Amino acid sequence: MVPMVDLRKQFREIKDEVFKVITEILESSHYILGAKVSELEKKIAEYNNVKEAIGVASGTDALHLAIDALGVGEGDEVITTPFTFFATVEAILYTGATPVFVDIEQDTFNIDAGRIEEHITDRTKAILPVHLFGHPADMVKIREIARRHRLKVIEDCAQAFGAGLHKKKAGSIGDAGCFSFYPSKNLGGYGDGGMITLNNSKVAGIARELRNHGSKGAYRHERVGFNSRLDEIQAGILLVKFGHIDEYNKKRRRNAALYNGLLSGIVNCPVERKGAYHVYHQYTIRSGKRDKIQQKLKENGVSSVVYYPVPLHLQKALKFLDYRKGDFPVAEKAAREVLSLPMYPELEGETIVKIAGIIREV
Ligand X SMILES: Cc1ncc(COP(=O)(O)O)c(C=O)c1O
Sites of contact with ligand X (CB under 6 A)? 58-60, 84-85, 87-88, 130, 156, 158-159, 180, 182, 192, 194
**What is the SS3 assignment for 147?**
helix
- Residue whose C-beta lies closest to ligand X: 59
Q: Which is nearer to ligand X, 160 or 356 (CB)?
A: 160
Phi-psi region of 132 (alpha: psi -120 to 50; beta: other; left: phi over 0): beta
Question: Contact at 8 Å (CB) between 79 and 116?
Answer: yes
Tell me how far, at minimum, the Cβ of 282 lies from ligand X, in Å: 9
Tell me how far, at minimum, the Cβ of 130 lies from ligand X, in Å: 5
Q: Which is nearer to ligand X, 52 or 156 (CB)?
A: 156
Q: Which is nearer to ligand X, 59 or 162 (CB)?
A: 59
- The residue among 167, 137, 155, 184 whose CA lies nearest residue 63 is 155
Distance separating alpha carbons of residues 245 and 234, to the nearest angstrom? 16
Tell me how far, at minimum, the Cβ of 85 lies from ligand X, in Å: 4
Q: Which is nearer to ligand X, 192 or 209 (CB)?
A: 192
Cα 52 to Cα 48, 57, 324: the distances in Å are 10, 17, 40
Tell me how far, at minimum, the Cβ of 91 lies from ligand X, in Å: 7
Distance separating alpha carbons of residues 306 and 343, to the nearest angstrom? 14
- The residue among 193, 185, 123 whose CA lies nearest residue 160 is 185
Tell me how far, at minimum, the Cβ of 18 lies from ligand X, in Å: 20
Q: Which is nearer to ligand X, 162 or 356 (CB)?
A: 162
Distance separating alpha carbons of residues 38 and 45, to the nearest angstrom? 11
